[in-house]
Amino acid sequence: MSGGCTYRGRIAPTPTGYLHVGHAATFRRAAERCEAAGGTMVFRLEDLDPLRCKPEYCDAALEDLRWLGLTWTEGPDVGGPCGPYRQSERRPHFLAAWRALRDGGWIYPCARSRKEVATSALAPHEEEPVFPPGWRVPVAQAREWADPAGTNWRFRVPDGEAVEFVDGHFGQTRRVAGVDFGDFLIWNRDNVPAYELAVVVDDIAMGITEVVRGADLLTSTARQLLLCRALGAPAPGFYHCPLVVDELGRRLAKRTGALALRTLREQGATPQSLWDRLKNGMF
Ligand code: GLU
């Protein structure tokens, strides 16, 4: 690491299964960009969902990434000044953010389930359908809540506002609030912070300067930029990696089991053979 460099990147897997080649491609790009900038790499386990995240997947993620040759200087196994680096141990930070959003009038309690929202869509929607504005609850009601337990919480998006950012890979990117995405969950009914909130809170707390991740999260980035603004924090830069596809151009997600890094390793793959195969963004 070169003196005075402020680049801070992160590798942030969700341990709900074994890491696959798509993760390898994204995390390698994250490592390359961090290294090129002479930066610091943070490893963070996004193990918030107690039902789906398993300790064996956490251990496996660390092991698989080490096998790939990826390294970090802050993380659950090595410590660091911004820890803990497991989201399951960072609840006080998420609660503090929830309080700030409540006090700032940005969020409201929402009794509607994801299922109701999914079936509410007037038109078929590629991602999560836009939350019907008619179902909004006045944000003033939020102030009556001392803590978030017992219901879903949503962020009220500024309808019609274009959220724009320059992505390191895709360039100028634009999503319109209320059109491309609607009021989104920041806290789940099961009393677990939602992905969007946890990621933003931790990227701020850990001083991340560039987020490198898959292109499937481009719309999430627009949501997260709104959250950063609401929390009064500067936003990091973003670099979204094209998703790895098969020879027919299909996303690999459907057959991740067969493409788990440990399965490939057992079959004799080496990190170099993986990088060679991934060269064209295909596997
Ligand atoms: N933990 C998320 C995942 O594994 C990535 C979060 C992010 O990069 O913002 O898909």
DSSP string over 37-57: TT-EEEE-B----TTT--HHH
Ligand 1 first shell, C-beta below 6 A: 12-14, 46, 199, 213, 217
Asked whether residue 150 falls in the same domain as residue 125, the answer is yes
Asked whether residue 51 falls in the same domain as residue 112, the answer is no
Which residue's alpha carbon is at the smallest distance from atom 4 of ligand 1?
13
Asked whether residue 98 falls in the same domain as residue 111, the answer is yes
Helices (H), the chain: 21-36, 55-68, 91-103, 114-120, 195-205, 218-230, 261-266, 271-278
Evaluate the omega torsion of the peptide bond into residue 84 and state whether it is cis, within 30 degrees of 0: yes
What is the DSSP pairing of strand 237-241 with strand 210-214? parallel
Q: Ligand 1 center to residue 26 CA distance, Å?
A: 10
Asked whether residue 57 falls in the same domain as residue 107, the answer is no
Buried b (16+ CB within 10 A) or exposed e, 245-254: eeeeeeebee
Cβ neighbours around 264 below 10 Å, total: 20
CA–CA distance, 198 with 175 (Å, rounded to integer): 21
Reply yes or no on whether 254 is catalytic.
yes
Asked whether residue 75 falls in the same domain as residue 118, the answer is no
pLDDT at res. 1: 43
CA distances from 33 to 37, 150, 168, 198, 222 (A): 6, 41, 10, 23, 22
Radius of gyration of the chain from Cα atoms?
19
Indicate whether 121 belongs to any domain.
yes
The active-site residue, picked from 54, 115, 254, 279, is 254
**Residue of 45, 195, 200, 213 with the most ligand 1 atoms within 8 Å of its CB, for mutation:** 213
Asked whether residue 117 falls in the same domain as residue 190, the answer is yes
pTM of the entire predicted model: 0.95
Contacts (Cβ under 8 Å, ≥6 apart) of 53: 14, 15, 16, 47, 88
State the number of CA atoms in the 13 A half-sphere of 33 facing the CB: 26
What is the DSSP pairing of strand 210-214 with strand 184-187? unpaired
pLDDT at res. 246: 86
Residue span of the structural domain in which 9 resides: 1-89+244-283
Indicate whether 97 belongs to any domain.
yes
Picking from 146, 166, 201, the residue at the C-terminal end of a domain is 201
pLDDT at res. 257: 65
Q: What is the CATH classification number for the domain harbouring 71?
A: 3.40.50.620
pLDDT at res. 2: 44
Indicate whether 213 belongs to any domain.
no
Please provide the DSSP assignment of 171-203 as one string.
Answer: EEEEEEBTTTB-SEEEE-TTS-B-HHHHHHHHH
Picking from 201, 225, 260, the residue at the C-terminal end of a domain is 201
CA–CA distance, 42 with 266 (Å, rounded to integer): 28
Asked whether residue 98 falls in the same domain as residue 165, the answer is yes
Indicate whether 61 belongs to any domain.
yes
Along the chain (283 residues), what's the average pLDDT of each consecutive run of 10 residues?
Answer: 75 96 96 97 97 95 97 97 98 98 97 85 70 93 95 97 98 97 96 98 98 97 98 98 89 72 95 93 88
